[in-house]
Amino acid sequence: MKRSYAKSLLIKNCILVDGEIDRGLSDILILDGTIAEVAPAGHISTVPTVEVFDAEGNYAAPAFIDLHTHLRDPGFTYKEDIETGTAAAAAGGYGTVVPMPNTSPVTDNIETVKYVLDTAREKGSTRVLPVAAITKGLKSEELTDMCALRAHGAIAFSDDGRPVTEYSLMESAMRISAANDMLIISHSEELSHTGKGVINEGDTATELGVPGIPNSSEDEAVRREIEIAEKTGAHLHIAHVSTVGAVQMIREAKAKGLTVTGETCPHYFVFCDEDIKTIGTNGKMKPPLRSATDREAIVQAVIDGTLDAISTDHAPHAPEEKADLITGAFGITGLQSVFSASYTTFVASGLMTLPELVNRMSTTPAKILGLDDGRGFIDCGALGDIVIFSDEEYTLTEEDIKSKSKNTPFIGMKLKGKIIATFVGGERTY
């Protein structure tokens, strides 16, 4: 049975926060999936046919939007599928997720885009906006039909999981994107610098006796992508930023007026490469956990807005695929820990305000994607996608995780900022 996401609901007694305003204790009325009224608490009359949810003084924000998810569906559903992945997303406060195209088959054709959209409508607990591949098969040999893919529902274009290795192909893709108002999401990696690297190049890699991945692997690729974006006028979004050099280049691009945005993930501002000695293979991802200096640069870039958004890069893997540091897969899950890790790092510590964090997780991601349906805000006429949360401290357990895969270093950590409920179009999905 397909979800309609067009329910009616009255949320009462919430502290309403979006990415621009803290409006205090409020009520929110959602009719047929759309926000119909926002008013101070007690000022909206209960409609007889409307379900009532009492937030009991907890926070309400526009449901989060993840710019960077791997749902592994089609093709790798032993790790995750659209049903379980979106269930995890809803439990993490997300109303919308943006899955990357490195599936099997690759999301480089209309049929696979349609499969993702149809499956999400039938089984999903969130809205799903698929990213299509820039090149066919992610092989950096031939461009996909970007205009046709966009017309059938692709929200953006990326070869994430791999870079587009050919300069001329990326330039052509950005020219098409600029002419048609499309978003390019770059997996910025220079493979010749990565080599057989496993974790960040540095003292920890030397101590563990494993090959390292230098910062230049990311920095050289970011430099190239920004150069092409400046030449073409494309909107370039840099995924999973991890280095001080990449941060500085994005900062300089913004100062020049280029349409360049960037994201990072909590693992890059919570951990550094030294932590791998404790967290093991759940500290292996690409780009890798960097030095403490890089981590501090990421923290500052999130605070000052150089990095526009916080994403998950949710990358589920089966246990046997994460068993060994050398041969194990890159990536960790994150849909249920990102908000809490971010709240703990930035809001509970006083480094950022709560509206600023909501901006990084809801409001700005909606703007980056070019959504014009009110996602990212709590306003009359906007979609009724709402997350309710508290500032409560809790410990994330393996039993809490709704993903098929549990490969995350956040299990067992004490975190602040607990998701209480998620609503999509007024329908409670968590």
d(CA 26, CA 29): 10
d(CA 100, CA 106): 9
Q: Are 140 and 169 in contact (CB under 8 A)?
A: yes
Burial class of residue 359 (count of CB atoms within 10 Å of its CB; 0-12, 13-18, 19+): buried
Peptide bond before residue 105 is cis, with ω within 30 degrees of 0: yes
End-to-end CA distance of the chain: 18
Measured from the Cβ of residue 11, the count of other Cβ atoms closer than 10 Å reads: 27
- Where helices occur in 124-202 by DSSP H, the ranges are 146-151, 167-179, 191-194
- Kindly state the DSSP code that residue 163 receives in the 8-state scheme: -
- Kindly state the DSSP code that residue 302 receives in the 8-state scheme: H
Angle at 68 between CA 97 and CA 328, to 5 degrees: 120
d(CA 55, CA 386): 11
Looking at 313, 324, 372, 385, which residue is catalytic? 313
Closest CA to 375 of 393, 362, 359: 362
Q: Are 67 and 309 in contact (CB under 8 A)?
A: yes
- Kindly state the DSSP code that residue 46 receives in the 8-state scheme: P
Closest CA to 313 of 71, 17, 125, 49: 71
Burial class of residue 417 (count of CB atoms within 10 Å of its CB; 0-12, 13-18, 19+): buried
| Strand order across the beta sheet in which 94-99 lies | 64-69, 94-99, 127-128
d(CA 33, CA 49): 14
Whether 160 is catalytic is no
Q: Are 173 and 138 in contact (CB under 8 A)?
A: no
3-state SS assignment for residue 224: helix
Task: Please report how many Cα atoms fall inside a 13 Å half-sphere around the Cα of residue 22, on the Cβ side.
Answer: 8
- What radius of gyration, in Å, describes the C-alpha atoms of the chain? 21
Residues acting as catalytic residues:
313
